[in-house]
Amino acid sequence: MKSTHSTKSTLAMLAVLAGSVGVLAGCRGDRSDAPPRQFFPNMDDGPKWKPQTGSTFFADKRTMRPAPANAVAFGRTSAVSDDPWNKPWAEQRVALLREGEAEYSGTNGVNADGTPRYIDRIPIEVTPDLIKLGQTKFNVFCATCHGYDGLGKGMVGQAWSYGLPNFHDAKYKDAAQYTGKDGYIFHVARYGVITQGQQKMPGYAHALNEKQAWAVVAYFRTLQESRAVPIGDGAIPESERPALEEKMRQAASATAPAAAPASAPAAPAASTPTNTQGGGK
Ligand code: HEC
């Protein structure tokens, strides 16, 4: 008797369970255009804007708010910690603050006509290490076009539609002209050359921070100096001379035969006379 009763009630309970599971499961995967049921709607509909979308709230309709003028983002750095882990952040902070226009832009105000007044000399201490750093960076980022020697005949430079400037030209040494100022070379290294609205040379600010760009300038000057030193005036140690003279002989004989047939193929011959920007001697 008792067992029949309990069997019945167990069956009934199972049926109710199965029914409710069926009802619940039936909702899953269904598609409906009806608005969802909101039992506690307070936090469902909080205002939210996605970056780069429009806003009706702000007068300028921009969702992303422009940072206040001169705001500096500090990220996670603590300005005071000397711990090694903090070094990159601390350096970044100094760079972001940009105290000292000359060091960070290569300029010192503007001229009467509104053009930037480039500074004459590198504003940071020039050490052998800085020049070495500059050499590394120059050989990575500049030599492809300008050549390791700065003559403008790098792999890409040779294929350029016009002749690239020669860094040993007087205009890049004469500090009375803007092209001869350290600040200008720094500026070109970071922002490239824009002529009549056209980006002629790409800028390398993404790859060269300020210190590295000054290092490139220091090496640029070293390259120029190295060409101006006569081999026999004592600046080159006696022990280095034979090897250097041998290299020069090799370089001379490597270019000599190439120069003769070059009149037939167009590449090297065409690039030189069409030089409009390079400012030949
Ligand atoms: C992709 C090729 C390319 C690379 C790489 C390149 N340059 Fe140039 N550079 C040019 C071209 C092209 C010009 C000539 C621009 C023009 O038409 O006036 C030029 C011009 C210059 C000038 C002369 C600017 C003037 O006003 O006369 C300097 C200085 C210079 N580059 C420095 C650098 C330095 C430093 C680097 C490395 C950080 C570098 N360039 C990397 C293509 C390059």
pLDDT in tens, 205-230: 999 999 999 999 999 999 999 888 87
For 102, other C-beta atoms within 10 Å of its C-beta total 19
Write out the residue range of the structural domain in which residue 134 sits.
Answer: 127-237+269-281
Which range in 79-93, 195-209, 257-271 is most confidently predicted, on average pLDDT? 195-209
Q: Within a domain: residue 74? A: no
Q: Give φ, ψ of 136 to 5 degrees.
A: -60, -50
User: How does DSSP classify residue 193?
Assistant: E
Q: Which atom of ligand 1 is nearest to the CA of 142?
A: 37
C-alpha torsion angle, residues 23, 28, 31, 35 (rounded to 10): 80
How many other C-beta atoms lie within 10 A of the C-beta of residue 161?
7
Examine residue 81 and state whether it is found in any structural domain, yes or no: no
Q: Is residue 250 part of a domain?
A: no
Atom of ligand 1 nearest to the CA of 138: 37
Per-residue pLDDT for 273 more than 60? Answer: no
Whole-model pTM: value is: 0.64
Residue type, 208: L
Inside any domain, residue 227? yes
Q: Supply 275's token pair.
A: 């030089």
Query: Does position 165 have pLDDT exceeding 80, yes or no?
Result: yes
CATH number at residue 220: 1.10.760.10
Highest mean pLDDT among 83-92, 141-150, 232-241: 141-150
Contact status, residue 154 vs residue 144, Cβ threshold 8 Å: yes
Decide: 144 in ligand 1 pocket, CB within 6 A.
Answer: yes
Dihedral over Cα of 219, 225, 230, 232: its sign: negative
Number of folded domains that form the chain: 1
Does residue 60 belong to any structural domain of this protein?
no
Q: Which residue's alpha carbon is at the smallest distance from atom 33 of ligand 1?
A: 189
d(CA 24, ligand 1 centre) in Å: 70
Give the model confidence (pLDDT) of 33-65 as tens digits: 888 888 877 777 777 788 888 888 889 998 888
Residue 24's pLDDT is 61
Cite the beta strand spans of 143-215 per DSSP E. 193-195, 198-201
Residue indicated by tokens 């069409």 = 274
